């Protein structure tokens, strides 16, 4: 009913008295009076009507009673003016009725809804005790709950339910909007700049339920699903089927910005795909999806789902799964539990990233029905990391369907890493159904029987490919072509550096495999040792003595062997030069510095302050200078200058006694091309 403002206070008082004397009765809420948004500042549409409120009941009554016009985009706009308290009117289960009694409101086709929280807190609960689950909020299934409920049939994607600029304390399984069933309804849910956190520590934490419609994210969104309200508690404390991020999930899309899931719920996982005929997870160009996961059951659980599963990561987009040893570790079968999808396609666009660290062990690529085709397509300059923290079991397991495979089209780096088992279990390629195709300009290869250690929060994929992880690591310069049977009876057809049979055998047990673009050329200061000390005698008769007339001595050798380590993994051959520059001489009147060629110690060049002197030029692995060695297909070049070469000095006897005093500073430089 509509109420004149001057009667609001008496009515509320009467309602309070009635509640005290007649248990279960509630005061009727108002159908709100709208305001015209003349500028579009509130709704984004000039001329649209909006309704100011801080009451769930007011929103329900107004949605049910008002029919928006085209001027309002056929949308009911709610402008929240204060925190919205829990309310019994949004509780219960089952589809809503026209009486709107204790079970939310039924969404109508063509009547969209938009709630602008304006930074306020929305308590999604049936009472004001926000540490307990709302009434009727049990395990997810065929029931429907919450304030805004989509009927099983008759609501299309053109009907949009949106919430933005709000913090939500969620105590209702399924969240603020819910669409359940296979009757044909496929509404669009929009979340924009919202934070959703479970209030009850062990129940009703699932924030999204949309079986067959689209779920869209804009801006910055955070979903916290945390048993015992923290990210560290490990155990089966959170109720089963009340802690998934999304139940349903036919279409999930991060359109703009960054959407983050912080999940720690031992009985559940990010997705419970439910009664639909496909599942698409899309991260649009330049958007980002982040899953921070601790204790989860698996990655996907399914009930009545079918059709293809697609992960589509756009250009410059990222999907990061930052897990722990407890992530997806409870189900022994792998990532996918009872999944009925008939295929799985992963597309990573140009400059895109998929970086996954979990403790759940194997990616069970045989976990799909029907044709069971699994395809991973990695685009130009893209990054793929699959990192398994489980110390038993391989990273990739099971035999996928015919037509499966991995296609690498000039990605920046693809790294597969496992603490247990091997990267590819023998079951994966028992029928040679999972070939790797390297297209484009080609990629280098580095494999090891020792796993790398990554920081899940910011994995460094470069450093492991600049170092051996253990003895016997396998390295190859750039290749294109195809590799089949990894983990089983492997073979390769690569040019110009085909894998040897011995290396293919070694790769079967690899815990680390990386295909990557050449990193470039670099200097490895940690492995280098270019410091050098000298012994100078004031006795002119010593080999390192200084003349009594204060003239310059002969060249004096250093005490240590000098070692300079660099890398150049570009193309099929190195192409770099090395130089030394004296930056500072602390005893310029008494010491002169020289570079002595390790290949010919009689060849000595004076080092003047600020002047670069070439010390080596490398353009071929087969004709290296005698004092330079190469390892790991160009990953490591070591220049060795014994005591009789490298930095030498001449000195005068006017030099005062110095013990351990730095006498000079030198800069070593690697540059492109021959000297």
CATH number at residue 654: 2.60.40
Vertex 601: Cα angle to 596 and 605 (nearest 5)? 30
CA neighbor of 381 nearest in space, from 518, 281, 575:
518
Same domain, 248 and 373: yes
Same domain, 237 and 106: yes
Q: Is the peptide bond before 496 cis (omega within 30 degrees of 0)?
A: yes
Domain membership of residue 585 (yes or no) is yes
414: exposed, middle or buried (Cβ count in 10 Å: 0-12, 13-18, 19+): buried
pLDDT score for 3: 30
Cα separations in angstroms, 266 against 141, 238, 240, 242, 327: 19, 7, 8, 11, 9
Same domain, 334 and 371: yes
Can you tell me which residue has the tokens 């270019």? 530
213: exposed, middle or buried (Cβ count in 10 Å: 0-12, 13-18, 19+): buried
Domain membership of residue 566 (yes or no) is yes
Q: Which residue has the higher pLDDT, 673 or 11?
A: 673
Lowest mean per-residue pLDDT among 188-192, 312-316, 392-396: 392-396
pLDDT score for 28: 55
- Residues 12, 14, 16, 20, Cα dihedral to 10°: -170
pLDDT score for 13: 28
Lowest mean per-residue pLDDT among 156-170, 281-295, 359-373: 359-373
From 490, 516, 542, the end of a domain falls on 516
Determine the distance from the C-alpha atom of residue 191 to the mean position of all C-alpha atoms in its chain, rounded to a whole number: 21
Q: Which domain holds residue 158?
A: 75-516
Domain membership of residue 147 (yes or no) is yes
Same domain, 512 and 629: no
Same domain, 4 and 85: no
pLDDT, average across residues 125-137? 95
Same domain, 153 and 195: yes
Are the beta carbons of 370 and 400 closer than 8 angstroms?
no
From 474, 490, 516, the end of a domain falls on 516
Token pair listed for 202: 């062990």
Same domain, 302 and 337: yes
Cα separations in angstroms, 121 against 54, 62, 196, 440: 10, 20, 10, 51
**DSSP code for 110:** T
DSSP SS3 for 464: helix
pLDDT score for 29: 57
Same domain, 207 and 281: yes
Domain membership of residue 43 (yes or no) is no
Structural domain count, the chain:
3
Domain membership of residue 56 (yes or no) is no
From 495, 516, 537, the end of a domain falls on 516
Cα–Cα distance between 114 and 208 in angstroms, integer? Answer: 16
Same domain, 363 and 331: yes
Domain membership of residue 58 (yes or no) is no
Same domain, 236 and 176: yes
Token pair listed for 129: 């005790």
Provide CB contacts within 8 A for 61, sequence distance 6+.
28, 29, 30, 31, 32, 100
Same domain, 649 and 597: yes
pLDDT, average across residues 102-116? 92
User: Parallel, antiparallel, or unpaired for β 396-397 and 363-364?
Assistant: parallel
Residue 536 has pLDDT above 90, yes or no: yes
Domain membership of residue 178 (yes or no) is yes
In the chain, % of residues over pLDDT 70: 94
Cα–Cα distance between 313 and 253 in angstroms, integer? Answer: 10
- Range among 20-29, 88-97, 455-464 with highest mean pLDDT value: 455-464
Same domain, 344 and 473: yes
pLDDT score for 488: 87
Domain membership of residue 133 (yes or no) is yes
């Amino acid at each position: 009913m509509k109420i004149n403002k001057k009667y609001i206070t008496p009515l509320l008082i009467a309602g309070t008295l009635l509640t005290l004397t007649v248990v279960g009765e509630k005061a009727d809420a108002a159908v709100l009076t709208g305001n015209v948004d003349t500028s579009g500042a509130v709704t984004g549409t000039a001329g649209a009507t909006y309704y100011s409120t801080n009451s769930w009941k007011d929103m329900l009554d107004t949605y049910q009673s008002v029919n928006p016009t085209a001027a309002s985009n056929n949308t009911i706009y709610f402008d929240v003016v204060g925190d919205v308290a829990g309310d019994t009117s949004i509780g219960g289960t089952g589809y809503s009725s026209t009486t709107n009694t204790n079970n939310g409101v039924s969404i109508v086709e063509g009547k969209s809804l938009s709630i602008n929280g304006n930074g306020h807190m929305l308590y999604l609960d049936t009472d004001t005790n926000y540490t307990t689950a709302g009434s009727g909020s049990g395990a997810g299934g065929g029931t429907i709950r919450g304030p805004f409920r989509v009927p099983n049939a008759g609501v299309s994607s053109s009907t949009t339910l949106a919430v933005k600029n709000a913090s939500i304390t969620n105590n209702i399984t399924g969240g603020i909007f819910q669409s359940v069933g296979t009757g044909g309804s496929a509404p669009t849910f929009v979340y924009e700049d919202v934070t959703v956190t479970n209030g009850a520590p062990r129940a009703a934490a699932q924030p999204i339920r949309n079986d067959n419609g689209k779920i869209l994210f804009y801006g910055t969104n955070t979903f916290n699903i945390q048993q015992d309200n923290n990210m560290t508690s490990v155990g089966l404390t959170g109720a089963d089927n009340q802690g998934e991020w999304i139940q349903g999930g036919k279409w999930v899309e991060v359109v703009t910005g960054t959407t983050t899931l912080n999940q720690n719920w031992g009985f559940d996982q990010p997705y419970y795909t439910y009664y639909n005929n496909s599942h698409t997870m899309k991260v649009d160009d330049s958007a980002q999806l982040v899953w921070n996961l601790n204790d989860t059951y698996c990655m996907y659980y399914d009930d009545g789902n079918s059709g293809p599963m697609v992960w589509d990561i756009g250009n410059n987009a990222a999907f990061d799964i930052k897990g722990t040893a407890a992530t997806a570790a409870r189900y022994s079968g792998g990532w996918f539990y009872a999944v009925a999808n008939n295929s799985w396609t992963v597309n990573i666009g140009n400059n895109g990233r998929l970086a996954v660290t979990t403790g759940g062990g194997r990616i069970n690529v045989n976990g799909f029905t029907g044709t069971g085709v699994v395809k991973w397509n990695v685009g130009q300059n893209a990054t793929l990391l699959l990192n398994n923290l489980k110390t038993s079991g391989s990273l990739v397991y099971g035999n996928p369907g015919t037509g499966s495979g991995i296609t690498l089209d000039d990605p920046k780096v693809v790294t597969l890493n496992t603490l247990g088992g091997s990267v590819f279990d023998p079951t994966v390629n028992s029928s040679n159904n999972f070939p790797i195709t390297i297209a484009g300009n080609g990629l280098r290869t580095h494999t090891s029987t020792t796993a790398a250690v990554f920081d899940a929060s910011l994995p460094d994929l470069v450093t492991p490919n600049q170092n051996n992880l253990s003895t016997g690591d396998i390295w190859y310069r750039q290749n294109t072509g195809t590799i089949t049977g990894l983990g089983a009876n492997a073979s390769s057809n690569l040019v110009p550096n085909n894998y040897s049979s011995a290396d293919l055998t070694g790769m079967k047990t690899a815990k680390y495999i990386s295909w990557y673009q050449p990193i470039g050329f670099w200097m490895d200061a940690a492995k280098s040792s270019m410091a050098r000390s000298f012994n100078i005698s004031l006795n002119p008769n010593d080999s390192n003595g200084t003349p009594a007339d204060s003239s310059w001595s002969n060249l004096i050798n250093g005490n240590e062997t000098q070692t300079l380590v660099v890398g150049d993994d570009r193309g099929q051959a190195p192409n770099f030069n090395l130089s030394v520059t004296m930056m500072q001489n602390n005893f310029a009147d008494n010491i002169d510095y020289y570079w002595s060629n390790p290949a010919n110690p009689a060849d000595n060049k004076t080092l003047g302050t600020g002047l670069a002197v070439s010390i080596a030029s490398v353009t071929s692995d087969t004709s290296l200078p005698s004092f330079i060695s190469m390892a790991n297909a160009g990953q490591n070049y070591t220049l060795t200058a014994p005591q009789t070469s490298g930095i030498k000095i001449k000195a005068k006897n006017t030099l005062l006694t110095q013990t351990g005093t730095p006498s000079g500073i030198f800069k070593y430089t690697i540059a492109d091309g021959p000297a």
